[in-house]
């Protein structure tokens, strides 16, 4: 699909009139395209005006059924939002979570503002378009921020302001579940202390952690955990 | 007559709209803090919109109730993350409703079944619109404006948008239904949405 063509899919997207493959391609695109994000937001507001035309009162019994279900349903937590400005490439990446990109426009912390796509932005958008996607911001003592967004066996790591781990050392990302800490990947920050990486992350994380290890990696964390976050799963 | 009465009876739902605020945003904020009573009020204000959108696409009443319930449960779960600077409550909830309804029919029925259904019906979607009962939430004035805006589209534009939005069809299905090239339908939908947006204002 050409670039011009994809820009023109915003109206059909807002009407949910794309087939699944085009929908996915467009979601990956619009997360990184300011013009399309505005288009989609406006077209959706317009589409809902059409929806108002067919408003119809549901059966009275439905309210009780919904109210009893929500009384038992846990809400998502308000968002930890990590913002990273990468001045070199003049992109701002704002990561959030647990929201399909489809809905993210309306929710706090959305999405990615950027100029043009790149591999990382596209992969992040794909992860975020999964309705099960979640994001956590890892807390820690040291300087810098790290957040992880994951879904479907893939995790996107965004970090800013990390100090150089030192000669022969590297940051290592851990997926922590009931069985312990699983080494996922070494993370090598750029000169400005930023990381943008997508890694395989099979399993159901109960927590994420980051340590500094030898730059050959370690099968288990040997150093204190510098950054950690529990998931809401 | 009904319009005036509603304007008087529900000043909150109409006058606030005029100055651009979102009358439902404070309720969504409270619901986002776990306030079930506020969520109940939101339900009262939005259930007509949600059920109407869903029923129009899903058709079957009991399935429509199920989907409506899914929509409200999803809204409840996501309410803590609602950000009113990003759009109105109406637009958000209506978007969720449409998406869920479309997902339901596309997973349960082949597009061929739905195409046949719509061909057999042989009535324009605008009849569905015209016959709709007005709900109790002060939307009557708005609806006239929306109908007028729809009336100003060309016939082929209106047909394409109605089949897509109210029929829940993809633009490819619309193209097959109308026996037109896909590119033509894509363009009609886009042109129609731009005109509607310009007529109605996008940011309500």
Q: What pLDDT was estimated at residue A215?
A: 83
Contacts of B128 in chain A (CB under 8 A): 54
CB B143 within 8 A of CB A53: yes
pLDDT of residue B17: 39
pLDDT at B195 over 80: yes
Q: Dihedral, CA atoms, A39, B163, A99, B50, nearest 10 degrees?
A: 110
Q: What length is written for chain A? A: 233
- Taking CB atoms and an 8 Å limit, are A9 and B186 in contact across chains? yes
- pLDDT means per 10 residues, chain A with 233 residues, are 75 94 82 83 93 92 97 79 31 31 48 48 79 77 78 86 83 83 85 85 84 82 74 67
A17, A44, A53 ranked by CB distance to B189: nearest: A17
CB A45 within 8 A of CB B46: no
Q: Identify the bridge partners of residue A175 per DSSP, sorted by sequence position.
A: A182, A208
B100-122 pLDDT, tens digit per residue, is 999 898 876 665 566 666 654 44
ipTM of the complex: 0.80
pLDDT at residue A216, rounded to an integer: 83
**Could A58 and B128 be called an inter-chain contact, meaning their C-beta atoms sit closer than 8 Å?**
no
Share of chain B above pLDDT 90, in %: 57
Confidence check: pLDDT of B8 > 50? no
pLDDT given at position B189 = 97
Dump the DSSP string for chain B. Answer: -HHHHHHHH-HHHHHHHHTT--TTHHHHHHHTTT-HHHHHHHHHHHHHHHHHHHHHHH--HHHHHHHHHHHHHHHHHHGGGB-GGG--HHHHHHHHHHHHHHHHHHHHS-HHHHHHHHHHH-S-HHHHHHTPPP-SSS-HHHHHHHHHHHHTS-HHHHHHHHHHHTT---HHHHHHHHT--HHHHHHHHHHHHHHHHHHH-S--
Separation in Å, CA of A3 to nearest CA in chain B: 15
Q: Cβ atoms within 10 A of the Cβ of B137, count? A: 19
pLDDT of residue A126: 81
Residue among B32, B93, B31, B105 nearest B66 (CA): B105
Query: How many residues can be counted in chain B?
Result: 204
B138-183 pLDDT per residue, tens: 445 467 888 889 999 999 999 999 999 998 999 999 999 999 999 9
């Amino acid at each position: 699909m050409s670039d011009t063509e994809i820009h023109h899919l915003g109206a059909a997207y807002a009407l949910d009139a794309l087939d699944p493959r085009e929908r996915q391609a467009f979601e990956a695109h619009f997360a990184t395209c300011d013009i399309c994000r505005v288009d989609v937001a406006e077209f959706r507001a317009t589409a809902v005006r059409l929806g108002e035309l067919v408003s119809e009162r549901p059966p009275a019994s439905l309210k009780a059924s919904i109210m009893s279900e929500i009384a038992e349903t846990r809400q998502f937590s308000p968002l930890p939002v990590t913002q990273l400005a990468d001045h070199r490439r003049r992109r701002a990446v704002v990561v959030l979570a647990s929201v399909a990109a489809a809905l993210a426009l309306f929710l706090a912390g959305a999405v990615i503002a950027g100029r043009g796509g790149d591999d990382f932005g596209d992969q992040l958008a794909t992860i975020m378009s999964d309705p099960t996607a979640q994001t956590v911001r890892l807390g820690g003592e040291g300087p810098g921020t790290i957040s992880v967004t994951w879904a479907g066996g893939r995790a996107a790591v965004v970090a800013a302001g990390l100090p150089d781990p030192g000669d022969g050392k590297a940051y290592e990302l851990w997926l922590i579940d009931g069985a312990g800490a699983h080494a996922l990947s070494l993370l090598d920050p750029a000169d400005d202390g930023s990381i943008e990486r997508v890694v395989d992350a099979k399993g159901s994380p109960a927590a994420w952690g980051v340590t500094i290890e030898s730059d050959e990696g370690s099968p288990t964390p040997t150093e204190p955990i510098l950054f950690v976050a529990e998931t809401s799963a | 007559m009904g319009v005036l009465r509603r304007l008087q009876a529900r000043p909150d739902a109409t006058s606030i709209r005029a100055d651009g605020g979102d009358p439902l945003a404070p309720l969504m904020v409270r619901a986002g803090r776990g306030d079930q009573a506020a969520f109940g009020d939101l339900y009262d204000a939005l259930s007509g919109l949600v059920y109407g959108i869903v029923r129009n696409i899903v058709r079957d009443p009991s399935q429509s109730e199920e989907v409506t319930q899914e929509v409200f449960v999803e809204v409840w779960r996501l309410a803590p993350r609602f950000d009113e600077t990003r759009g109105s409550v109406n637009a958000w909830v209506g978007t969720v409703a449409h998406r869920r309804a479309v997902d339901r029919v596309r997973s349960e029925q082949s597009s061929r079944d739905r195409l046949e259904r719509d061909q057999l019906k042989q009535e324009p979607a605008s009849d569905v619109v015209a016959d709709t009962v007005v709900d109790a939430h002060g939307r009557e004035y708005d609806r006239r404006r929306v109908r007028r805006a729809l009336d100003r589209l060309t016939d082929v534009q209106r047909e394409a948008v109605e089949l897509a939005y109210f029929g829940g069809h993809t633009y490819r299905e619309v193209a097959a239904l109308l026996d037109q090239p896909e590119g033509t339908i894509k363009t009609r939908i886009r042109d129609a949405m731009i005109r509607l947006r310009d007529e109605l204002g996008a940011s309500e």
